[in-house]
Structure 1
Amino acid sequence: MVNFRKYISGITVLASGFFLAQSTVSTVLYTPAYENQKSTLNLPSPITSMVEKAILSPKELVDINVNTMMSDPVLKNATWGFVVYDPKTKKVISSYNENTPLVPASTTKLLTTETALSLLGENYRWMTQLEYSGSIDENGVLNGNLYIVGSGDPSLGTNKAGAWSYKEIVSDFVSGISREGIKKVNGDIIIQTALFKGNISRLPENVVWLENNNYYLPAGTTQEINPANEKLIVKKGNSFSAEKKYFYVSPYMNQMVYADKYDGDGILTTKLPDAPAYLANSFKTTLVKSGVSVTGKVTPRMTDGTPESRKMISAYKSPTLADIVYYTNQHSDNSLAEALLKTVGFQKLGDQTSESGRSVVTEHLKDISFDLNGLSYVDGSGLSRSNLVTPISQVKYLTSLMNEKYYKTYLTSLPIGGQSGTLKRMFLGTGNGQIFAKTGTLSRVKTLAGYMKTNSGKTLVFSLLVNNYSGSVDMVKKRMEKILEPALDL
């Protein structure tokens, strides 16, 4: 830390003339109500700020703002760390608790998405193929089976990142059946995908998260389970909103599920937990409606010891990995982040579990000389409070990526202050369009890490991780903005 006394005393001497010239001088004390006023934070007045900028360098102003925050009512009892780093000189410009392991929340996605880009490539796509076995006779009867062969596409049917809807994929498959001249299927529709069959994400039942103003919580029991959705009955008295998403552990899939719709009267509805099954059932229904009968049933076949010879009818390609990463980081999409974790595990180790994904990410970080001191990488999304990282390791990691061929894609995926994604409502004034960073929010955790374009054209790297603060999320956001503001003049 720097010696702040000489800076503060200098400010005091020069500012005294300004203050004595004022007819009245008021001192603003911190109260919760004060936060709701339009006044500035409990920091130096505008006149003092003018004097500061006249006599202090931007670096000194950053240091003073950090020092001021140590006694700020919102942060003084918090555990937090901060680093601004120059990637050209490889030197720390300003820091506080930079070596302290802290809960990173969704800035964990920085590790997950970069590992996927590095190991799979920007143009990687998931394939979902329609195939058939057997033969087609002169009457258009397929004496064999139809196969829907998946690859664990996390965007399947979601419309996320430009992905097709179930309806569009089914329409394409039906067109393929028509091209092959198939008028009747004398066999089954078999779902074949060994991917993610063991992906069970169990979480403590007392966990409640706050992420981007969406609550995730285990809730109630299910009813009316069908291939399209399942409904939840939740306890009366819980505060639910149509604008929020809700997390629970699905007894249907026994894994994490996000309820997308609040029906009212204590009922939440989730989209289908088993995308391949829904796709296959929708496909069969549409075939029958179009006049192509199917004598068999829809059935899963995870493994096939004696595979039949098959011919491909149609293949649906997911959006590129670059598109998926962009959507994941802009929207802080937890389900896509977890799917990316499992995909890198499968591609490198042939195993679709989260454990394999964690192992692959950790090995990748070792290979690129990530500082593993203080690192605890538990999940791909950052929902777990067991995740830990140090601010200094984050900035050095982000610096190392600036020389990678996919850096532009990675940088573009990050929300922009005042303009896009989860940063759209931060840095609306100073810093608008200059902050490119991943946000993170859990209960009493607020984090921000990424890059900034300074007013002089430099690119700096920063990490600001705050744990166990007092007050509201908005209060912490204001202080984060205040800390970073003078760094834009570096």
Structure 2
Amino acid sequence: MTKFLQIRIITIFLFLIVFQQAQAQLTRDQYIQLENALGEGSFFSGHLTGFMLYDLDSQRVLYEKNSQINFIPASTTKLFTLFAALAILQDSTQTLRYLPAGDTLKIWGAGDPSWKYLSFRQPDFEKIWKNYRVIQFSDANQVSPAFGYGWQWDDYYYDYSAERSPLPIAGNLLEVKKVGNRPEVLPSRFQKSIRTTTLPIKELERDFHSNTFSYNPSTFVGREKYIPLLTSGNLTAELAQEITGKKWIYKKEPLPPNHKVFRGAPLVPLLQEMMLESDNFIAEQMLWMVSDRIFKTLDTERAIEFIKKTYFFDLPDQPKWVDGSGLSRHNLFTPRSMVGLIEKLYRILPEAQLYQLLPTGGKTGTLKNSFQAAQPYVFAKTGTISNHYSLVGIIKTNRGKTYAFAFMNSNYLHSASAVRREVEKVMIQVRDFF
């Protein structure tokens, strides 16, 4: 290579760097526009707001505000769970670990949430237990408790806070139908556990410590269609026996080393439900399946520590990540780490597949009724709990740019819908002018 050619190549390379940086920088007007939208005197100046806009092509930060501050992420936590599931589980669920013992099949649940839940394709259980007279079920591999760390105790009777278990059936939920002024439930075995009360309650409510239920015939409305059950190994065996027609027994027996593994259902439909509809139950069970795959135990904390050390060691700020769903207020993430996670997902997944897993503005999931446009431009996960609202994902602009962003809000006194509307106004500006 001649010296002239070397100089020419270096010159072209330096030009491309400068050109790329120029393309990735905001104009003065664009910067002022975001400062006016997010800065002093704006709607967002009355509470804590973090924002980052990042060019995925040039890999440069365009704008940031409080991006280093930790926020409670709520359901945007599921983005971390999504990455963990894709990295560890790949294409199918962890369903059972099992060991034949004469006419008995010993099984240990691996956390698969799909059995009798919603309309998911069912694991082909007959494939492994059709030749056995007795099924012996153990939950000795469960390390984490039924409720996650930092979940609110008084959410126990809402369907978004269903308990975790090794082998869930029907999402660990009781289905409730209003017939006249009384409730009818499935599984029907719980009908005998329903009592009447004179308390002014409008729904069927479960006792905190047992699967006993109460309703007031005079005030019963019946809008809540599902109530979480108090789970146990014995209850799992009893319900499974009714469903399968086989004899089930519960025995807390440790998992032996010479067992086999059954991976029973496709993973993508579960991931789509988890992300689009923000299904907390699936998210929690997803981390249990990750733990089972790596450690042969159902241990949320251990699974999270493994994923953080293996895949997230290079994030700008180490997250405080404690559950799969985001129900816990102990989760703490910074906007810039959220953007770092979006970039990881953007790099490992085909773009079309990533967009299928993220709610699409005006089209799917939790964004179906917001960010509406003739051409979808926001693909993002929402996260909402009391006084906290976040939106994290990807925005496509009218100028053909693709940006990752994190928009996190905490400690506001407005309604969540008011904050969502103001967030949408800012994202429209980004779409139209950036």
The TM-score, its normalising length taken from structure 2, stands at: 0.71
Q: What does residue 372 of structure 1 align with?
A: 317
Using the TM superposition, give the Cα deviation of residue 442 of structure 1 relative to its aligned residue in structure 2, in angstroms. 0.4
Q: Go from structure 1 to structure 2 and tell me whether the alpha carbon gap of 1:67 and 1:80 turns closer, same or farther (over 3 Å shift).
A: same
Pick from 441, 449, 452: which aligns with 2:384? 441
Gaps of 5+ in 2: 1-25, 164-173, 175-184
Q: What does residue 404 of structure 1 align with?
A: 348
| Cα distance in 2 for residues equivalent to 1:235 and 1:441 | 34
Map residues 29-178 of structure 1 onto 2, 5 A cutoff: 60-61=29-30, 63-70=32-39, 74-121=43-90, 123-128=91-96, 133-134=101-102, 144-160=103-119, 162-164=120-122, 172=126, 177=130
Q: What does residue 137 of structure 1 align with?
A: none
Using the TM superposition, give the Cα deviation of residue 277 of structure 1 relative to its aligned residue in structure 2, in angstroms. 5.6
Using the TM superposition, give the Cα deviation of residue 239 of structure 1 relative to its aligned residue in structure 2, in angstroms. 6.5
| Cα distance in 2 for residues equivalent to 1:306 and 1:206 | 36
Is 1:300 matched with 2:250? yes
In the TM superposition, what whole-angstrom CA distance separates every residue of 1:42-68 from its partner, at most 9, and x where no partner exists? xxxxxxxxxxxxxxx888357425524
Is 1:323 matched with 2:280? no
In the TM superposition, what whole-angstrom CA distance separates every residue of 1:204-253 from its partner, at most 9, and x where no partner exists? 696667xxx988699xxx9x99996576999945665x9xxx9x996359
Is 1:196 matched with 2:142? yes
Q: What does residue 331 of structure 2 align with?
A: 387
Q: What does residue 24 of structure 1 align with?
A: none
Using the TM superposition, give the Cα deviation of residue 158 of structure 1 relative to its aligned residue in structure 2, in angstroms. 0.7
Q: Is the 8 A contact 2:92 2:263 kept in 1?
A: no
| Cα distance in 1 for residues equivalent to 2:334 and 2:394 | 16
Q: What does residue 357 of structure 1 align with?
A: 303
Q: Go from structure 1 to structure 2 and tell me whether the alpha carbon gap of 1:455 and 1:205 turns closer, same or farther (over 3 Å shift).
A: closer
Using the TM superposition, give the Cα deviation of residue 151 of structure 1 relative to its aligned residue in structure 2, in angstroms. 2.5
In the TM superposition, what whole-angstrom CA distance separates every residue of 1:276-330 from its partner, at most 9, and x where no partner exists? 7666545544676xxxxx7xx63223325889x99x9xx9854322222111111
The TM-score, its normalising length taken from structure 1, stands at: 0.64
Q: Go from structure 1 to structure 2 and tell me whether the alpha carbon gap of 1:469 and 1:59 turns closer, same or farther (over 3 Å shift).
A: farther
Output the amino acid matched with 2:406: S
Q: Is the 8 A contact 1:109 1:381 kept in 2?
A: yes
Secondary structure of the residue aligned to 2:312 is helix
Q: Is the 8 A contact 1:207 1:217 kept in 2?
A: no
Gaps of 5+ in 1: 1-56, 135-143, 254-258, 289-293
Output the amino acid matched with 2:327: L
| Cα distance in 2 for residues equivalent to 1:482 and 1:336 | 32
Q: Go from structure 1 to structure 2 and tell me whether the alpha carbon gap of 1:89 and 1:306 turns closer, same or farther (over 3 Å shift).
A: closer
Output the amino acid matched with 1:418: G
Map residues 278-289 of structure 1 onto 2, 5 A cutoff: 280-281=237-238, 284-285=241-242
| Cα distance in 2 for residues equivalent to 1:87 and 1:109 | 21
Q: Is the 8 A contact 1:366 1:372 kept in 2?
A: no
Secondary structure of the residue aligned to 1:88 is coil
Q: Go from structure 1 to structure 2 and tell me whether the alpha carbon gap of 1:427 and 1:76 turns closer, same or farther (over 3 Å shift).
A: same
Pick from 254, 262, 270: which aligns with 2:227? 270
Q: What does residue 37 of structure 1 align with?
A: none
Map residues 205-354 of structure 1 onto 2, 5 A cutoff: 236=199, 251=209, 265=220, 270=227, 272=229, 274=231, 280-281=237-238, 284-285=241-242, 298-303=248-253, 318-354=264-300
| Cα distance in 2 for residues equivalent to 1:303 and 1:363 | 31
| Cα distance in 2 for residues equivalent to 1:234 and 1:108 | 39
Which structure has the larger Rg?
1
% of aligned pairs identical? 23
